[in-house]
Each structure stands twice: as C-alpha cells, then as structure tokens.
C-alpha cells in the first residue's frame, strides 16, 4: 500500500494534497499524476524551490518560477526561454551560465542602465566591458574602490570630477602625469613620493620644490634625479643620513657626516677610507673611529 505524507493514495483529496505539499514540497512528486495541478506545483516550489528541476514545466506557473529564482538565482537555467525575463539572464550571468552578450541582447534598452549597475555591483572590473556612456559615477567609484587595475583609462571624461580625482589620488590609482594641474599640489606630490619614490620622475620640473626634493631624498636614499639647483647643503646633510658620503662634494662634508660614514664601514658598499678624509677633519675622534692612535 502506498502512502504520501501519511495518507494512503486512495484517501487523497485536493485539500489533503495541498496540505501535505505545503508541509513538504517533495510530497508533490509522489502524488498521482492525475491529481497534480499548477496550484499544487506552485505550493511545492514555494516549499522547496529546487523542485522546478523535477516538476513538469507544463505545471509550473510564471509565479512559481519567479519565486524559485528569488530564493536561488542559479535556478534561472530551468526557466523555459519563453518565460525568461532579463532578470533571469542576469541571474544566469552571475553564476556563469550565460554570456554577457546574451544578457545584454535580452535586456530592453530602457533597462540597460539598471543591468550595467548590477553587473558593476557583482564585479567592478567589468567596467572595461561596459559601454562608455553607461559608466556612471557609481560604476566608476565601485571600480576605484575595488582597486581595478588601470581603472583611470576606463573613466569617461564626463565622470572625471573632483570627487573621482580625489579617490584616485587617495588610492594611488592614477599616475602623477595624468593628474590635472589644479589637483597637483605640493601636498599631493609629497604623498605620492612618500608612497613610492619613483613618482619623483613624473613631477613637472616647474612644480619641483625643496620640500618635494627633501621627500624624494628621504624615501629614495638617492640624489640621482635631483635637479642641480636643489643640491644645497641641507639636501646633502639629509642625504648623508642614508647615502654614501662619496656622492657628496667634499666642500659640503662635515665632521658629523664623516663620523656617520666611518661608523658604516662594516656594511657600506663603498666604505670611506681614512686617506680620503680631508686633513681638517682628521681629528682625534675621527682617528679613533679608524683605530688610529
């Protein structure tokens, strides 16, 4: 004798069938085919959405499909093409069950802005594949916040606002050479060089200041790209704290520099030899550093 949900099949009525399906959607599959109805199928799917994979499509109403997809977007693949909406294609795209081209071709034109926003929310790097005139402020900001590589090239001119430039600068996602002059302040340049000293090479010559040079020397430990007019005593003193004294013209040497260089003899690639020290600096303290008594 066969039972369904605690009832013998011979005792089943439409009301009993609805009750046992609502308590356990899988009971629908054991109800005799002649008693299965769209209403029962909807109740079963609301109880167990994945049943749309097993219930005959002729019994599944559009409402039931909508409910199942709302609960589990991956189920969109089981919706017959004739009943699919653009949201179904979006759900399929999100689980890699359809292509972007298929999604866009099945989306009404007036719904494309909404779809592109959804695409961006799901994967901000998709900004590269979104047509330029659909790249909104929010799509650009999502891509910046997500750290999308080379994001600046994907931001339309119409979206290159103060807000956008501020975000790009804060996250070092735009080269100094691409920052408009009105945003290229000394503070911004110093921030960039503090982050990566190589940015010094991108600073326009007419915007270089002593503070910028000091920052470059402090973080690069180098004088390589410093313009000659900025090679002052203060710059050499700063450089002596990090670099090789032999890079500094002798006329700028001080006893402090020499003592610092002497103390580094164990690890400097080019240690300062005692014979290289001018006579005026060969003091007892310096001789002591070289074990000369």
**Running along the chain, 293 residues long, what does each successive block of 10 average in pLDDT?**
83 93 94 94 94 93 89 85 86 86 93 97 96 97 95 96 94 91 94 95 95 96 95 94 86 85 59 76 73 63
All structural domains of the chain with their residue ranges: 1-71
pLDDT, residue 160, reads 95
pLDDT, residue 271, reads 67
Residue 158: HSE in the Cβ half-sphere, 13 Å Cα cutoff? 8
CA angle 31, 33, 34 (to 5 degrees): 110
Distances (CA, A) of 33 to 37, 55, 56, 260: 9, 11, 10, 94
Q: Please, what's the b/e burial string for 224-241 (b: 16 or more CB within 10 A of its CB; e: otherwise)?
A: eebeeebbeeebbebbbe
How many angstroms separate the CA atoms of 43 and 68, rounded? 11
3-state helix, strand, coil in the chain (%, to 5): 65, 0, 30
pLDDT, residue 1, reads 45
pLDDT, residue 268, reads 47
CB-based contact 143:168 (threshold 8 Å): no
How many angstroms separate the CA atoms of 175 and 150, rounded? 10
pLDDT, residue 200, reads 96
pLDDT, residue 191, reads 94
User: Helix 86-94 and helix 112-122: axis angle, to 10°?
Assistant: 20
Q: What is the pTM of this model?
A: 0.67
What is the token pair recorded at 191? 């921030």
């Amino acid at each position: 004798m066969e039972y369904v949900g605690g009832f013998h099949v011979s005792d089943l009525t439409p009301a009993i069938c609805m009750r046992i399906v609502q308590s356990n959607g899988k009971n629908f599959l054991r109800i005799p085919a002649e008693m299965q109805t769209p209403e029962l199928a909807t109740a079963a799917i609301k109880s167990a959405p994945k049943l749309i994979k097993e219930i005959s499509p002729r019994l599944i109403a559009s409402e039931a499909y909508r409910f199942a997809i709302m609960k589990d977007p991956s189920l969109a693949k089981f919706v017959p093409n004739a009943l699919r909406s653009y949201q179904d294609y979006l759900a399929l795209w999100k689980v890699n069950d359809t292509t972007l081209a298929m999604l866009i071709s099945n989306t009404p034109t007036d719904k494309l802005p909404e779809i592109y926003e959804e695409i961006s929310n799901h994967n901000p790097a998709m900004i590269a594949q979104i047509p330029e005139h659909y790249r909104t402020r929010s799509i650009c900001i999502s891509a910046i916040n997500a750290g999308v590589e080379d994001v600046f090239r994907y931001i339309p001119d119409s979206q290159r606002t103060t807000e956008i430039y501020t975000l790009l600068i804060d996250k070092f996602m735009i080269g100094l050479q691409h920052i408009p002059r009105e945003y290229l302040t000394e503070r911004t340049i110093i921030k960039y060089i503090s982050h990566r000293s190589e940015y010094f090479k991108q600073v326009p010559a007419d915007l270089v200041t002593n503070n910028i040079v000091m920052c470059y020397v402090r973080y690069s430990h180098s004088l390589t790209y410093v313009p000659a007019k900025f090679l002052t005593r203060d710059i050499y003193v700063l450089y002596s704290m990090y670099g090789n004294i032999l890079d500094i013209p002798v006329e700028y040497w001080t006893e402090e520099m020499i003592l610092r260089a002497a103390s580094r003899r164990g690890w400097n690639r080019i240690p300062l030899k005692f014979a290289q020290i001018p006579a005026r600096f060969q003091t007892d303290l310096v001789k002591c550093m070289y074990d000369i008594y």
